Structure 1
Amino acid sequence: MLGIPVRKDISFYASQQIEEQWFEQTLDHFNPVDTRTWKQRFFINDTFHTKNGPIFLQLGGEGNADPIWVVEGQIAANYAKRFNAMSVLLEHRYYGKSWPTEYAFILALKNMSVENLQYLTSQQALQDAAYFIEYLTTKLALSDNKWVIFGGSYSGSLAAWFRAKYPHLVVGAIASSAPIEAVVNFKDYLSVVSDSLGQKCDDAIKEATHELSLELDHPVGWKSIEKQFKLCEPFNGSIVDDVYNLVSTLAGNIEGVVQYNKDNRDFEGAVATNITIDVICDVMTNTSIGAKALDRYMKVNDIILEAYNQKCVDFKYEKFVKQLQNTDWKSSAAAGGRQWTYQTCVEFGFFQSSDLKSQPFGPYFPVEFFIKQCADIFGPKYDQTLLEKSIQFTNNFYGGYALKVRKVLFPNGSIDPWHALGVTKDLNQYSKALLINGTAHCADMYPESQKDPKELTEARNHIINTLNDFLTAQ
């Protein structure tokens, strides 16, 4: 299905019945002299909750917190129903509508300037959740109820770290597709992409990249690239940053398909969920579509543009940087792009570079390209030295692969490139890995589907058993 999927009526209207709620949150938890506060958004579904039932808290991540998650998401529709739990979704600071800079009395904090983004850290977000639990426990008289914390992707990391840092507040955590080791150069991301594509498809993309490199060598080729890939502006292959940005964008088309392959995201309005690895690889390996692999690569680009209702490919690096420099809450960057880029530049890295030689996209977006973006967007002090120091702090603070934590389950999909930074082997007898063969990013968190593989159904049953262990342990 092309365009924005139409939600099932029952899901849409049910989510509309979930009240948007707000509470007074502290701006800077680590400066007791700073008494400024702001309004943080949350949602509650207590349909299945009984007096002594647990509280299932889902942490929001680097985007808008959609109330449909506490209606139809796996945590609400399956686990909460089984355990008579209350489902709660807490939006992450600086994302969605939870803007610490929105309120008039914080006169200096009216936008996403670098000065104001200093309060956007995972440590602040964890303390937000701790304060929220204490707030809701008091408000709803939940002192006798047990809490379990959930998250997926970045918020999955937060869930695991929360259990490690605040074990007195939650009895366990389900940390889905959670990267736990911060790295500047996440070159292994493309290793998993390559493996997930399969040898024949991977070889076809390598061939297309080689043919693209020949086109990049001369102005005649630049005109061909501009026309065939439907670029939004004239292409000059002598501008290195534009070349890097274009090739990484084309690679990103396939990376996204692999990361979300055959998931069930359409319940929340996701687009292009019908484009799978099979679809992409059927095109890339079908010589009847084009004798040259580059022609087939162009066809993949056409498919992606149509799916996202886009007329052309934005590739200009200067334009990209300018968009992310915009500090206005009404800008397109405020959907999460500027905020998450900032977090990667000061906490996590996670830069999905082309530095792995065996991957199929060529050497066109090295890690230095992403580090340069940090400096160009946020200022020259956001350089490699600052980034490496920040990464070291993050791993020292949380533990990285040496994370010491009990009662956390780490589901990961074998196709998901992020499992390369996740927990795929048991940390200990109390915190175990759950590698789900054939599934992608956060697949265990989405609503059930008749198309779900057996391994995914079994994984959800494993999660249910783990939740029972968390809730019944003394």
Structure 2
Amino acid sequence: MAFWNSVLFGKVPRLFKVVAILACVACFPCDARFKGFRRFRNQFSAEPNENRHTVEDQWFIQRLDHFNGADTRVWKQRYFVNDSFYKPGGPVFLMIGGEGPANPAWMQYGTWLTYAEKLGALCLLLEHRFYGKSHPTEDLSTDNLHYLSSRQALADLAHFRTVIAEERGLTDRKWVAFGGSYPGSLATWFRLKYPHLVHASIATSAPVYATVNFPEYLEVVWRSLASESPECPQLVREATDTLLLRLHDPSSLDNITKDFRLCSKLSSQSFMDIAYFLESLAGNFMDVVQYNEDNREFEGVVGTNITIKVLCGVMLDSSVGDPYERYAAVARLMLQTFSQPCLDAQYTHYLQDMRNISWDGPASGGGRQWVYQTCTEFGFYQSTDSPNQPFSGFPLRYHLQQCADLYNLSDPERSVAEAVKQTNEEYGGYDIRATRIVFPNGSVDPWHALGVTSDISRDLPAVFIKGTAHCANMYPARAQDLPQLSLARDHIFLLLQKWLNE
């Protein structure tokens, strides 16, 4: 659902695009190059200046393989503690890390801490295996990534909860799981799979249904842009259609290179090269929509001033030129915002980075790991296969080909489909049979299309917040918050308070 950490690896980012969950980066928390990573970003991923926070790293001895009793290998998993609000007898709040480095800023800011102060809770944040400093294996080879899965991550949470409860005398305390985006899904599934260990879950912006093809993401982008101006997404579509035509004209490549400030001239007109470039440019809009006006400044995120209103303002400005020229102006604006001199739009460079299996490699912040999870568990591919969306040129087969190119999947269409089927069999998709889970979602956030937006039952309520984006209710409150966002936070607190008394 995540993975941007403004982690600008290497020279210049291949663009602002990183994983379907995680997503995020430069203007969001995670490097934009790694498809979908940004757009399903871990809400708690760390910024490069994480050391400005004084929260101490702590380490937990974790099992490598929870499903093989004969495998006794262990590794050190990072976690954080905030006990400043804890009162004896109070609950334990466990924030779940996701597809990026765990950000210690969340131990000092966020709505969950407001709840913790009112309820006297102990707050813990556990980093997800294979992300951040939590390295279970010596490298990120495909063989080692076999130990990266949501099932193993949930078992990590269960083992951590059991041991920490025993060590700190918290076995009789009520534990509550918190998560946003992919960690929101984990919060749902933690309560589903381990109800004896977690009393309730707050599962924000959680895509609970896995799907190979996810064109609905871009359909929501269209609607979110149209909420600013009906013309805006139509102009984007006109621009991308024009660009796609020009990409197939060799005489236009020099101008395209100049217009979009590419680091090098487009040297190939292969399907994958063109699709990579087009998805990279679309990512400018996708990421801004996903995090539109979220209160992310405390994370050290750059570019929070770039909103739907700003992008549509450029697209509607006829003085800039025709729609194609306005689309190029948006790309240049984004480069300027993130202090990048040019855009590296070469698919071969992306593959080179993503194939680096070192923990010091350019994609080790989460790109290589999260794309692996999409290929082996979730899909979530934000394709242009719907006519009701504003972009052109990166259909499902483009995403599936990356699974073959990066992880040697011989038949990605079949294998990803089977993996997604197994995930929904494992967790139930939308058919969730549990209690005490609340599902907050924002109407602007494209991920709500795979989430729970209406009540399943009295004990599985949804909180659908009109006009807000990804994980908005989790961020610190501010004066300019929409009234419905403030009401949603209050409603979630009342549910939490009620459930802790059950």
TM bin, normalised by shorter chain, reads over 0.9
Find the aligned partners of 1:345 and 1:13 in 2 and give their Cα distance.
30
Counterpart in the other structure of 1:39: 76
2:219 corresponds to 1:191: yes
TM-score (norm 2): 0.88
Asked if 2 retains the 8 angstrom alpha-carbon contact of 1:219 and 1:237, the reply is: no
Please report how far the alpha carbon of residue 213 of structure 1 lies from its aligned counterpart in structure 2 after TM superposition.
Answer: 2.8
1:129 Cα offset (Å): 0.3
SS in 1 for 2:191: helix
Larger Rg over CA atoms: 1
The match for 2:21 is none
Q: Select 1:100's aligned residue among 117, 124, 136.
A: 136
Offset at 1:211?
A: 2.2
- Indicate whether 1:91 and 2:127 are aligned: yes
- Per-residue deviation, 1:237: 5.6
| Kept in 1: contact 2:142–2:407 (CA 8 A) | yes
| Cα separation, 2, equivalents of 1:16 and 1:4 | 20
Q: State the AA in 2 paired with 1:123.
A: R
State the SS of the aligned residue for 1:82. Answer: helix
Matched, 1:428 2:482: no
Residue 25 of structure 1 aligns to a residue whose secondary structure is: strand
Q: How far does residue 68 in structure 1 lie from its aligned partner after superposition?
A: 1.3
Query: In the alignment, what sits opposite 1:175?
Result: 203
- What are the superposed Cα offsets for residues 387-428 of structure 1, whole Å, 9 maximum, x if unpaired? 111111000000001121211000000000000000011111
Question: Equivalent residue of 2:310, what SS?
Answer: helix
SS at match of 2:172: coil
- Partner SS, residue 80 of structure 2: strand
1:42 aligned partner, one-letter code = Y
Distance in 1 (alpha carbons) for counterparts of 2:121 and 2:487: 21
> Residue 73 of structure 1: CA displacement?
1.8
One-letter amino acid matched to 2:193:
K
1:449 to 469, 475, 478: 478
CA contact under 8 A between 2:27 and 2:304: conserved in structure 1? no
8 Å contact 1:415–1:437 — kept in the other structure? yes
After superposition, give the CA deviation of every residue in 1:276-309 in whole Å (9 maximum; x if it has no partner). 000000000111222x111111110011111122
Structure 2 counterparts to residues 256-295 of structure 1, below 5 A: 256-290=287-321, 292-295=322-325
Choose 207-216 or 21-30, whichever is displaced more.
Answer: 207-216
Root mean square deviation of aligned Cα: 1.5
> What is the alpha-carbon distance in structure 1 between the residues aligned to residue 459 and residue 341 of structure 2?
51
Does 1:26 pair with 2:54?
Answer: no
Whether the 8 Å CA contact 1:95–1:335 is kept in 2: the answer is yes
Number of aligned residue pairs: give it. Answer: 454
Do the aligned residues in 1 keep the contact of 2:94 with 2:175 (CA within 8 Å)? yes
- Whole-Å separation in 1 of the counterparts to 2:336 and 2:479: 27
Q: 1:48 aligns with which of 74, 79, 85?
A: 85
Q: What is the match of residue 320 of structure 1? A: 350
* SS of equivalent residue, structure 1 residue 230: coil
State whether residues 401 and 412 of structure 2, in contact with CA within 8 Å, keep that contact through their aligned partners in structure 1. Answer: yes
Q: Once the 2 structures are TM-superposed, how far is the Cα of residue 4 of structure 1 from its aligned partner?
A: 8.8
The counterpart of 1:240, out of the listed 251, 261, 271, is 271
Q: Which amino acid aligns with 1:34?
A: D
1:66-102 CA deviation, whole Å, 9 max, x = no partner?
A: 11101112212x110111111110000000100001x
In structure 2, relative to structure 1, the CA distance for the partners of 1:441 and 1:196 (3 Å cut) is same
2:43 is matched with: none
Query: More deviation in 380-389 or 303-312?
Result: 380-389
In structure 2, distance between residues paired with 1:71 and 1:314: 36
> What percentage of residue pairs aligned between the two structures are identical?
47
CA distance in 2, matches of 1:212, 1:255: 18
Residue 450 of structure 1 deviates from its aligned partner by 1.7
Q: For residue 424 of structure 2, what is the aligned residue in structure 1?
A: 395
Structure 1 runs of 4+ with >6 Å offset: 12-15
Q: Distance in 2 between matches of 1:409 and 1:15?
A: 33
Are 2:400 and 1:371 equivalent residues in the alignment? yes
DSSP 3-state at the match of 2:364: helix
* Distance across 2 between alignment mates of 1:240 and 1:472: 57
> Could you say which residue in structure 1 is the equivalent of 2:17?
none
What is the identity, as a one-letter code, of the residue corresponding to 2:273? D
- Structure 2: 5+ residue runs without aligned partners? 1-25, 29-48
Letter in structure 2 aligned against 1:56:
F
User: CA–CA distance in 1 between the matches of 2:203 and 2:367?
Assistant: 23
2:320 match: secondary structure: coil
Aligned residue for 2:380, secondary structure, equals strand
Pairwise CA distance, 1:14: 10
- 2:33 alignment counterpart: none
The 2-side partners of 1:308 and 1:339 are apart by 24
Equivalent of residue 144 in structure 2, options 103, 112, 116 = 116
Q: 1:13 to 1:335 in 2, by over 3 A?
A: closer
Q: 2:409·2:415 contact (CA, 8 Å) conserved in 1?
A: no
Are the aligned partners of 2:100 and 2:132 in contact in 1 as well (CA < 8 Å)? Answer: yes
Q: Which of 345, 369, 373 is the matching residue for 1:343? A: 373
In structure 1, stretches of 5+ residues that fail to align are 6-11, 102-109
Query: Secondary structure at 1:256's aligned position in 2?
Result: helix
Secondary structure of the 1:411 match is strand
Q: TM-score, normalised by structure 1?
A: 0.93
Q: Secondary structure of the equivalent of 1:184?
A: strand
Q: 1 or 2, which has the higher helix percentage?
A: 1
Task: Give the aligned partner of residue 490 of structure 2.
Answer: 461
Kept after mapping to 2: 8 A contact 1:15/1:67: no
